[in-house]
Each structure stands twice: as C-alpha cells, then as structure tokens.
Structure 1
C-alpha cells in the first residue's frame, strides 16, 4: 500500500533532550568547582526525562498520525475509506462538526479540512498542511474513480 501523504506525529529527536540536559547539568557541576559531581542523580534525571519524553513521542505518533493510502485516510486512531469522501472543496463546516481521529477539536497547530461524505455528513480532517492533504486525497480519488 502506497502512502500518498504521511505525517508521523513526532520525530525521535525529542528523545535526546532529557539525556542532553542531564549531560549538560553533569558537566556544569563538574567544571564549576564542585567537590564531586552527583553522577547517579544526573543519570537518574537523564533516564527519567527520557522515559517521560518517550511517552510523549509515543502518544503523538499514535494519536497525531495522518496518512493517505490508496484506499483510506488515517487520522489518529480513525480510518476512513477514501470511497466515502464525496466532496473536498467548497465544504463548509457547521458548528459541532465531528473531528476525525476521536478528538473534541482539531489538534492545536494543525489546519482543518472539511470533508463531505457519501451520506451527506460533514467531518473535519486535519493536517499540518491542509492543501497538501487535499491534493493527496484528490489524487487518490481520481485514481480510484471509474
């Protein structure tokens, strides 16, 4: 299955923040004239921050993933078959429109893309770049049209 559009939700770079912070703290303590650096404490800080950051990265990768494949649009935990999408442009989103992916609202810092489905309902898709998402969906819908 080919991905026509993909957002992972988070990269692995934030996993380095905690250990780097702990290393900087250790080095600062070592070179500022302290008697003995608190090595075990800085190791615990690095491991603790790594653990907390790994939970954050895992959650973002699970709940903020956006994918368009040949057959479906994936938004977080929700999968919508592309054949259910009836209209992509000129769709208004009334108040209370259901957001794909299971959230109450479009995630912060993401753009919304209203979609009209084959049963007449309107849902909100979301992505960092809604135009790119729209282009990918249009491409897939053109390929799958008879």
Structure 2
C-alpha cells in the first residue's frame, strides 16, 4: 500500500449529525415553550434527516476525494500513476481537455490544475486547494517547487 502524501475527503461523516442535532433543537424548543414534546416525531425527524444525508456523504466521499500517494494521483475513482505525469507547473489547459475523475468539468468550488502527461496530452486535475495538490505532486516526484 502506498503512503498517502495528500488527501482531501469529499465530505465528512460529521454532517450525519446535523439532522439529529436539528431534531434535538426542535424538541428543546418545544420543551422551553411549554408545548407538549413530541419525542417520537423528533426522533423520526432526526433519523430521517440522517438517512437522507448518508447517501449524499457517501457519494461525495466516493467521487470527490482527492489523494496523492507515493505512486499515484487519485481523483474520485480514477487513478493516474505519478510515473505518467510529466509536468504540473506552467501547463496551459487547452479547450476540451479531459477532466480527471470522469466529469464534464471540474467540480464546483474546486480549483483546476492542468497536468501534462508523458504522452503529451493535458488533463485537468482538481482540488479544493490546487496549490497544495501541485506541491504534493512535485514533492513526491522530487521536483523543486
């Protein structure tokens, strides 16, 4: 197994707690206003919100995770061996460059990082912090930043 040098998870499982926290606040609000507390309803609301949040988190973690190991760059479920990366600095992105990870474009709110491969083609990598991704690739490849 390769050592992970850089990682951006697509989402955190902590978001699963937002629904139950909202339900708890609703129950506390009922308690403080003197209204009858609908415990069963608030438990169902909390569980329901957690249930619809879980697939969203799973999908984001599966398709939006960025990882650089000592041997590969992972963009979602796509792996690019670091040995096939020729350049990450001062690479222009031509129109229609393939986006790593299988999307039509880089995910919203993510920085694009044009990457030249050893066959001369240019692909678009993406990360929340594009500079950190570039630095991690340069570090693993032994290039000076």
- Deviation at 1:30? 2.2
* 1:33-112 mapped onto 2 (5 Å cutoff): 33-34=34-35, 36-112=36-112
Aligned to 2:17: 16
Structure 1 residues not aligned, in runs of 5+: none
Secondary structure of 2:86's counterpart equals strand
User: How many residues end up aligned between the 2 structures?
Assistant: 142
Quick one: distance in 1 between partners of 2:124 and 2:93?
7
- Structure 2 unpaired stretches of 5+: none
| TM-score, structure 1 as length reference | 0.92
- What's the offset of the Cα at 1:12? 2.2
Regions of 4+ moved over 2 Å: none
1:67 is displaced (CA, Å) by 0.6
Q: Give the Cα–Cα distance (whole angstroms) in 1 for the partners of residues 92 and 21 of structure 2.
A: 46
Measured in 2, the distance between the counterparts of 1:97 and 1:39 equals 54
Q: Measure how far apart 1:71 and its partner are.
A: 0.7
TM superposition shift of 1:11: 1.6
Residue in 2 that maps onto 1:128: 128
Q: By how many angstroms is 1:4 displaced?
A: 1.0
TM-score, normalising length: structure 2: 0.93
Secondary structure at the aligned position of 2:142 is classed as helix
Name the CA distance, whole Å, in 2 between partners of 1:39 and 1:48: 14
